[in-house]
A and B are shown apart, each in its own frame.
Chain A
Amino acid sequence: MSSQIVSLVVNGEPREFIAKPGTTLLAVLRDSLGLTAAKRGCAQGSCGTCTVLVDDRPVTACLIAVETVSGASVRTLEGVAAGGDLDEVQSAFVDNFATQCGFCTAGMIMVAEALLDRDPDPSQEDVAEAISGNVCRCTGYQPIMIAILDAARRRRGESPKPVPASEETVSREEKVSR
């Protein structure tokens, strides 16, 4: 069978594209639609850098043959900042130093978006489980978990207050200024 036209609703907009058989959703997002926030990491579902939401559920886009989700609603990091403003999760990541090289960040944020959509008040355990499919090799998981818990507080309308957790995390700024 030759290539076929597939349609998706991506970040609220209907999109059509031509895909060869077995093309992954990740390849379509990056190569056909120019949405490069979702990263190509391991290409086997182990690292989570390609995580996007399909029908509101976080999934690894590298494991999805795009024909199998035709017509689905897909949300990527590009669809998170409404009108160009960072949302609560994104600003919490910035304020809590939860991104360093940035390669895992898009996946981490999409997982956090899905978690907070379902559970506005997750425990630290819930956050750890939610991001357990997302590998970070430089920032460290602690700042990321702190940022997601902080984002939850911001979404609930509480003041953005970074959790004073481990010494290391709290003193990072101080170390820099020393």
Chain B
Amino acid sequence: MMIQAVHVPESAEAVAVHSARGGQIMGGGTVVMPLVTGGAAPGGELISLRRAGLSGIEVRDGQARIGAAAPLSSVEEHPGLGFLRPAMRSIASPTIRNLATVGGNLFVEQPYGDLAVCLLALGAVCEIAGPGGRREAPVADVLASGVDHGEFVTAVVTALPEPGTWYYHKAMRRRLNSASIVTVASVTRTEDGVVTSTVIALGGVAPRPVRAVSAERLLLGRPLSPEVLTEAGEAARSDAAPFDDAYASAWYRARVLPVHLRRAFTG
């Protein structure tokens, strides 16, 4: 479809007006613009979030609020979000991270969307605006079923993980700038050597980021030993629905899932 207009509204309210009329929301353009250039634009009107005042990042009192239009590079560079830096640096290249946005990462197809995997593990909440006003929804719900017509994510809010509870690992074909084969993100607490609570999110192994609930169940009350972690990783296969793509086969993704789940914790 030919593009009839690119709106660059200067407030969330103005975004909502265009969005209610059916415009396509665009963050950094890293997904939308190749479609536009290729003549396959997802609609006649694009709404850029670049100037809508949704790029701020606030970190205080153990909580982070990240504007949906914040580029990935600003998350990577934020002194209060150091725990996310390895994850951000595993996504695409610095050049792309200067454009691609936090909100956009929630809507990209797997095997992209490693930040979304992190936000799922963190139990983050999306702030959403739309014709019906504002609402909040867990990232898990937005990943599972998107947002309603005319709605758009304005920010994600997450508690910062306590020191020593954050785990992230991404298996790629290359060390830099490659999509996920398996991504593992987790907030896991241990006490006296055993797991007291755990949330594990997986990327690269299903059509969207998923919780490894079978692995979580197996880890509770047990130590993070290589044997237990491998067992949990094998259990996680039942939470995954891997796919073939140019990076890896579904068979390979399922085969190496336990290895990478273990490595997320043991390094």
Which A residues are closer than 8 A to B by beta carbons? 1, 20-22, 24, 43-45, 48, 51, 57-60, 62-65, 67-70, 111, 128-130, 132-134
Contacts and interface: CB of A to CB of B under 8 A. Distances in A.
Given A63-B34, A67-B8, A21 B95 contact: no
Contacts of B177: 132-133
A134 B95 CA distance: 9
B11 to A, nearest CB: 15
A129 B30 contact: no
A60 B46 contact: no
Interface stretch (B86-94, B130-138, B221-229): B86-94
A63 B89 contact: no
A22 B46 contact: yes
Contacts of B94: 58, 111, 129-130, 132-133
Contacts of A64: 29, 33, 99
Given A132-B94, A133-B177, A63 B99 contact: yes
Interface stretch (B36-44, B190-198, B208-216): B36-44
A60 to B, nearest CB: 6
Contacts of B125: none
B49 to A, nearest CB: 9
B63 interface: no
A65 B99 CA distance: 12
A133 B8 contact: no
Given A1-B4, A21-B6, A57-B73, A65 B95 contact: no
Q: Tell which of A24, A68, A134 has the most Cβ of chain B within 10 Å.
A: A68
Q: Which 8 A-B pairs have the closest CB atoms?
A: A133-B93, A22-B3, A44-B34, A1-B5, A133-B95, A132-B176, A132-B177, A68-B48
A4 to B, nearest CB: 9
Given A68-B8, A132-B94, 5 more contacts: A43-B34, A68-B50, A129-B89, A130-B94, A133-B92
Nearest to B50: A68
A65 B6 contact: yes
Contacts of B41: 22
A45 B73 contact: no
A65 B89 contact: no
Interface in B16-47: 26, 28-30, 33-34, 36-38, 41, 46
